[in-house]
Amino acid sequence: MTVAAHRAASYTGEVWPGRAYPLGATYDGVGTNFALFSEVAERVELCLFDADGAEARIALPEVDGFVWHGFVPAIEPGQRYGYRIHGPYQPRSGHRCNPNKLLLDPYSKAIAGIFEWNQALFGYTFGDPESRNDDDSAPYMPKSVVINPYFDWGNDRPPKRPYADTVIYEAHVKGLTQTHPDVPEQLRGTYAAVAHPAIIEHLKDIGITAIELMPIHHFANDSILVDRGLTNYWGYNTISFFAPDPKYSSNASPGGPVQEFKAMVRALHEADIEVILDVVYNHTAEGNHMGPTLSMRGIDNTAYYRLVDEDMRYYLDHTGTGNSLNVGHPHSLQLIMDSLRYWVTEMHVDGFRFDLAATLAREFYEVDRLATFFELVQQDPTVSQVKLIAEPWDVGPGGYQVGNFPPNWTEWNGKFRDTVRDFWRGEPATLDEFAYRLSGSSDLYEHTARRPVASINFVTAHDGFTLRDLVSYNDKHNEANGEDNNDGEGHNRSWNCGAEGPTEDPEINDLRARQQRNFIATLLLSQGVPMISHGDELGRTQHGNNNGYCQDNSLTWVSWTDADAGLLKFTREVAALRANHPVFRRRRFFSGKPVGRRGAGGLPDIAWFAADGSEMAEEDWGASFAKSVAVFLNGDGIPDLDVRGQRVVDDSFILCFNAHHEPIEFRLPPADFGAAWRTVVDTGTKRAPDELRAQAAFAVDARSAVVLQAVAETRSAGPQ
């Protein structure tokens, strides 16, 4: 007799047939309907747990279309449960059913407890992956929880802000809030902390319109990290696509995280800030064939995971994490789509950033941009209407797919990140590509009828150096991760400005400050949708660690008391400039042709100039030594309409960029482009003159940018 059989008691209460839809546990005020998909199961047992951990088992009485279901009267919110699946254990055929393993419901809306890493969680005995381990895993498993779906949303309405007017802030729930002095200590690190007025005020202050939260789906802390005294801080190890992780909740009740998350969304919406979730549908925490049996592996392994055809003991891995979800199977696709709809309709989120999204495009081995998943999203009346952001790569063959996602998708533009980093660190022959990135990356998106907003522009993100570290380190310093500094990206396109790490040299520190301002200005004034990584505006450092995935401590938390006040002020001012001037957030690509109210006799919507004031020639772009350029943005040449249907008109601007190590003299273009200009942004130490006339010469400091605004009364100057 197994341990599981010894502890379990048969349920003696009523069980009704119930319904096959919706999947998961659904409370209706009378009782709870349970429904679980498994094509391979021969019998499915619902396991109910009381507060002391005692277990009662119910054989689900009905199965329709491979969905096992039953309705249990009087089961109320807060009830802990799981499943045991009776079926084949044949790893060579891909089947790993074992009723001695308690399994989480893939549709769990809440999960209580933690994974206690024990041999019992694994389907085999350590040292012998061909064996079968029948130890009962229930004592070491968290439990799924029946939730109360009711919540008072009040007058909550999604902001539905257009992409062109969006500024995204990528943040970690705990990392953003754990040390904020104005957030009550008992709330720090939680959903409630993100909703705290002090955090919301900061977001509003720097012009943020959408917060993109790193994974909050319930995830597992990897056993290998736990053994090293570390933790999966980032959370890219999902085990439930519906349940908000209780690690970020100040409400300890079983359904508390759901209520607290909803309250956070409501508060952010009241402040006109959208909520975007970083979601991990490409793999799960069950890992490869050596991983634990926690949920889908034991329910229907062949349906939920992509396996190697020649030997189905093994998993196809396009993610670098051990497994890949089988998006070619209808029930796996249903799981993802049901999850997305749930977060939009029940949790009121405004969009999703899809981790390693290229994996979702793989129906067989190749990346197919017209894969079934994208067709389903396109046709879904709910999911298709929210913000959809792809991380357009994975680690499989042909996985780098920047520019190749469907028209209703936006993408993290990795080429923007790489080009902008290279330009400002002085790499040769980057000027032409820098111009593409600054003007919206038409080379990547225009051919698919997309617009500049398809590009989510970023210089830094959670993965890699912080902005301050980007200008302070040439090399990664990940020793604290316990992997002999072998983890993390080795090619960072960073530059330490002359010294590795902290220094007392005032010239180096001045240069680092300029470089941070250069990156912020370039990011916020480029066409497309800017994304700021949390704390970059405050000068956050990870002391050279570019892979803080396992560091849940002060190394990765935002330090509010050490904030760089000057950089914060600069970020605030440039964000306001972007918000106030639609010429920096156009909805259509530039044409380079005469536009505006004077038609063919007018000025082009964009023009590029060399430092001497002459228009850039073809040979100027390819010169390896070229590190400076000026761009004219015509405020009278915006082809957009406002909400009243009126053509948008703005002031014109000239942006001057000098990535050279010495000051460069720039000369303004002729009066046709504007008779008088004033300096509104200068990232340099030696500020440009406040006012300038047409064709005036002025110095742009070494490695600096200057933004000039046409004086209002001369904005429309030009040939008549």
Q: How confident is the model over 662-671, as pLDDT tens digits?
A: 999 999 999 9
Residue 363's pLDDT is 61
Q: Are the beta carbons of 174 and 232 closer than 8 angstroms?
A: no
Reported as a single tens digit per residue, the pLDDT across 22-73 is 999 999 999 999 999 999 999 999 999 999 999 999 999 999 999 999 999 9
- DSSP-assigned states of every residue in 502-519: ----HHHHHHHHHHHHHH
Instruction: Give ranges for CATH 3.20.20.80 in the chain.
Output: 164-584
pLDDT of residue 486: 96
**478 burial class (0-12, 13-18, 19+ CB within 10 angstroms)?**
buried
Report helix, strand or coil for 82. Answer: strand
Task: Give the pLDDT score at 714.
Answer: 41
Distance CA 472, CA 282 (A): 34
Neighbours of 575 (CB within 10 A): 23
pLDDT confidence tier of residue 280, bands split at 50, 70 and 90: very high
- CATH 2.60.40.10 positions along the chain are 9-146
Q: Where in the chain is the domain with CATH 2.60.40.1180?
A: 606-710
Q: Considering only the top CATH level, what class is 606-710?
A: mainly beta
Single pTM value for the model = 0.95
For 9-146, CATH number?
2.60.40.10
Superfamily for domain range 164-584: Glycosidases (3.20.20.80)
Helix 506-525 with 414-424: angle, nearest 10 deg = 140
Confidence class for position 647, pLDDT limits 50, 70, 90 = confident
| DSSP character string of 294-345 | -SHHHHHHHHHB-B-TT-TTSB--SSSSS--B-TTSHHHHHHHHHHHHHHHH
The pLDDT, as a whole number, for residue 393 is 79
At residue 319, φ and ψ (nearest 5 deg) are -115, -15
pLDDT of residue 596: 60
- For 496, the token pair is 């330490």
Q: Which residues are catalytic?
A: 355, 391
* pLDDT 10s digits, 249-270: 999 898 999 999 999 999 999 9
On the question of pLDDT at 638 being above 70, the answer is: yes
As a whole number of angstroms, the distance between CA 613 and CA 474 comes to 35
